[in-house]
Amino acid sequence: MALKTLADAFYGELQDILSAERQLVKALPKMMKRASSEELSTAFAEHLAETRVHVERVEKAFEDTGKSPKSKKCEAMAGLVKEAESLMDEDASDEVMDALLIAAAQKVEHYEIATYGTLCTWAEVLGYGHAGKLLGMNIAEEEAADEKLTALSESINIAAITESAV
């Protein structure tokens, strides 16, 4: 696809984030299972439900482009998911694994926040009000998920330190 205009770039990035969200829908259940902390597993489950809604919102955001919602493989998310999967294969204590899962999840959140930030800015300058509103809802939820992970990490990281000291 030729990227001759900002509208072309917007469409391409929508395709990318649609792929990213779909990849995350597949990855989060694995992270839920690997988490030993009930709170962390619950946080992943809640974010999985939100992520499914994010997919729907992104699909609806395509309406402003006048093009159909389709995805192109998000290589960045594929790399982040692959990294998370390799972490889950590590021989780590439950507490350390939970800390690793939070780190991997926050990398994903930060990628999504950056992408949605760009898309929201572009939607505004392109006059894509409907898309901007939908994508703005997604970024707010991604930021909230990141904050929740940070809060969880405070106790989980202490538990990981305590476990490693034993």
Confirm or reject CATH 1.10.3210.10 for domain 6-165, answering yes or no. no
Cα–Cα distance measured from residue 91 to residue 67, given in angstroms and rounded to the nearest whole number: 46
| Residue 96 tokens, joined | 């350390």
The average pLDDT across 125-140 equals 98
The reported pTM is 0.93
Q: Which amino acid, 69?
A: P
Only one residue has tokens 């939970």, namely 98
Q: Is the pLDDT reported for residue 71 higher than 70? A: yes
Q: Is the pLDDT reported for residue 33 higher than 80? A: yes
pLDDT at residue number 7: 96
Q: Which helix (H) or strand (E) holds 141?
A: helix 129-165
pLDDT in tens, 85-132: 999 999 999 999 999 999 999 999 999 999 999 999 999 999 999 999
Q: Is the pLDDT reported for residue 163 higher than 80? A: no
Spell out the domain ranges in the chain. 6-165
pLDDT at residue number 164: 54
SS3 100: helix
What are the residue ranges of helices labelled H in the chain?
6-34, 38-61, 75-88, 94-126, 129-165
pLDDT in tens, 45-65: 999 999 999 999 999 999 999
Q: At what angle do helices 75-88 and 94-126 cross, to 10 degrees?
A: 170
Cα distances (angstroms) measured from residue 143 to each of 1, 112, 147, 152: 31, 9, 6, 14
Q: At what angle do helices 129-165 and 94-126 cross, to 10 degrees?
A: 160
pLDDT at residue number 165: 54
Q: Is the pLDDT reported for residue 166 higher than 60? A: no
pLDDT at residue number 115: 98
